[in-house]
C-alpha cells in the first residue's frame, strides 16, 4: 500500500488536507480576487458584514475591506508557517544528523547548544529577536525558526543513532565515502520520515507565533496578517466584534487543519515503518 492510500485511511488527515488545500487555493488566488492593495480604503469605516454585498464582511475602522484583508492575510500566515517550518527542519535535521553521526565531543557540544535554546520558550526568543533586529517578514520567519529547530534536531539525532551502525553505512565507509556524504546522503534520507511528521506541529506553532507577534505590533507593518487584524479590532471589540472574530476564526480553522493533517501524516508514516 502506497503512502497516499495509507494517508487516505486517516479521516482526520483527509479533513486537514481538505482544509489546507482550500486555504492554499484562497491564498494563491488572492491577487486575482482582490488585485488592489488590501490596506487601501474602499468604503465608509465600520461597515457591518452583509450591509453592502460589494463588501460582504464589512470594513474596519479605516474603511478597508475586511474580506480582502482576510484573504491576503491567509497568504502571510501560510507563508510564514511553511517558511519557518522549512528553516527549522533544515537547521534541526542538519544539527541532529551531524551530532548523531559524529558522536563524542561533537555530539556533546551540539546537544548542549540544543539544551541552551530549549531553556528559552520559543515565543519569548522570537519576541526578543524581533524586538532587537526589527520587524520584517524574513526576520519573523528566522525568529520563529530559531525557537523551533531543537525538536527536529533531537528527533533526527535519535534516528541517526539507530541507523549509523547498519550494514549499508559500513559498506559506504568501506568504499571510502566522505563522512559528511555518508551522513547526509545515506543516513539522513532514512532518518527524515519521523522528523517530517513533526513539521505540521511546527507550522501550526509558527502561524500562532506570527499572529501573536503581529498582535503585539511586532509584525511587518506593510503586510496584512490575521494577528494585526485581531489587534486592529481590539479597540472596538464592544461595538464591532466581527473585526476580531473573523480573523480569529480563520486562525483557529487554519491551525486545526494543520494539526489534523499532521495527525494523518504521522499515522501514515508510522504504518509505513511498521510494514517495513
For 63, the 3-state DSSP assignment is coil
> Is 50 exceeded by the pLDDT of residue 274?
no
More confidently predicted of 4 and 156: 156
- pLDDT the model gives residue 247: 92
Confidence at residue 137, expressed as pLDDT on a 0 to 100 scale: 87
Q: What pLDDT is recorded for position 272?
A: 56
Distance CA 263, CA 269 (A): 10
Least confident of 84-88, 130-134, 168-172: 168-172
In the predicted model, is pLDDT for residue 4 greater than 90? no
Question: How do residues 142-182 score in pLDDT, each as one tens digit?
Answer: 999 998 999 999 999 998 988 887 888 888 888 888 888 88
- Using CA atoms, how far apart are residues 63 and 39, in angstroms rounded to an integer? 9
Give the pTM.
0.85
Q: Is pLDDT of 108 > 60?
A: yes
- Burial pattern 191-210, b for ≥16 Cβ within 10 A else e, equals bbbbbbbbbbbbbbbbbbbb
Q: Is the pLDDT of residue 47 over 60?
A: yes
Q: Please state which CATH number belongs to domain 9-33+56-275.
A: 1.10.3720.10
Task: Specify the residue for cell string 505590533.
Answer: 217
Q: Which of 10-14, 18-22, 66-70, 147-151 has the lowest mean pLDDT?
A: 10-14
User: Would you say the C-alpha torsion 224, 226, 231, 234 has a positive or negative sign?
Assistant: positive
d(CA 262, CA 44): 42
Amino acid at each position: 500500500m502506497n503512502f497516499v492510500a495509507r494517508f487516505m485511511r486517516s479521516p482526520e488527515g483527509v479533513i486537514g488536507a481538505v482544509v489546507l488545500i482550500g486555504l492554499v487555493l484562497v491564498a494563491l488566488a488572492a491577487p486575482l480576487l482582490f488585485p488592489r492593495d488590501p490596506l487601501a480604503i474602499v468604503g465608509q469605516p465600520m461597515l457591518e458584514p452583509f450591509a453592502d454585498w460589494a463588501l460582504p464582511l464589512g470594513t474596519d475602522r479605516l474603511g478597508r475591506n475586511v474580506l480582502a484583508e482576510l484573504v491576503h492575510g491567509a497568504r502571510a500566515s501560510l507563508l510564514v508557517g511553511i517558511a519557518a517550518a522549512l528553516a527549522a527542519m533544515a537547521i534541526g535535521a542538519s544539527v541532529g544528523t551531524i551530532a548523531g553521526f559524529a558522536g563524542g565531543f561533537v555530539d556533546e557540544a551540539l546537544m548542549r547548544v540544543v539544551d541552551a535554546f530549549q531553556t528559552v520558550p520559543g515565543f519569548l526568543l522570537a519576541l526578543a529577536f524581533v524586538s532587537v533586529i526589527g520587524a520584517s517578514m524574513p526576520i519573523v520567519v528566522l525568529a520563529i525558526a530559531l525557537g523551533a529547530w531543537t525538536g527536529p534536531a533531537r528527533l533526527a539525532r535519535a534516528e541517526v543513532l539507530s541507523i549509523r551502525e547498519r550494514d549499508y553505512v559500513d559498506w559506504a565507509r568501506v568504499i571510502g565515502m566522505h563522512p559528511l556524504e555518508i551522513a547526509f546522503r545515506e543516513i539522513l534520507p532514512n532518518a527524515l520520515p519521523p522528523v517530517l511528521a513533526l513539521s505540521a506541529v511546527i507550522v501550526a506553532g509558527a502561524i500562532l507565533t506570527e499572529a501573536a507577534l503581529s498582535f503585539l505590533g511586532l509584525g511587518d507593518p506593510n503586510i496584512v496578517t490575521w494577528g494585526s487584524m485581531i489587534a486592529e479590532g481590539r479597540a472596538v471589540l464592544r461595538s464591532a466584534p466581527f473585526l476580531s472574530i473573523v480573523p480569529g476564526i480563520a486562525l483557529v480553522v487554519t491551525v486545526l487543519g494543520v494539526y489534523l493533517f499532521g495527525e494523518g501524516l504521522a499515522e501514515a508514516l508510522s504504518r509505513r515503518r511498521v510494514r517495513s
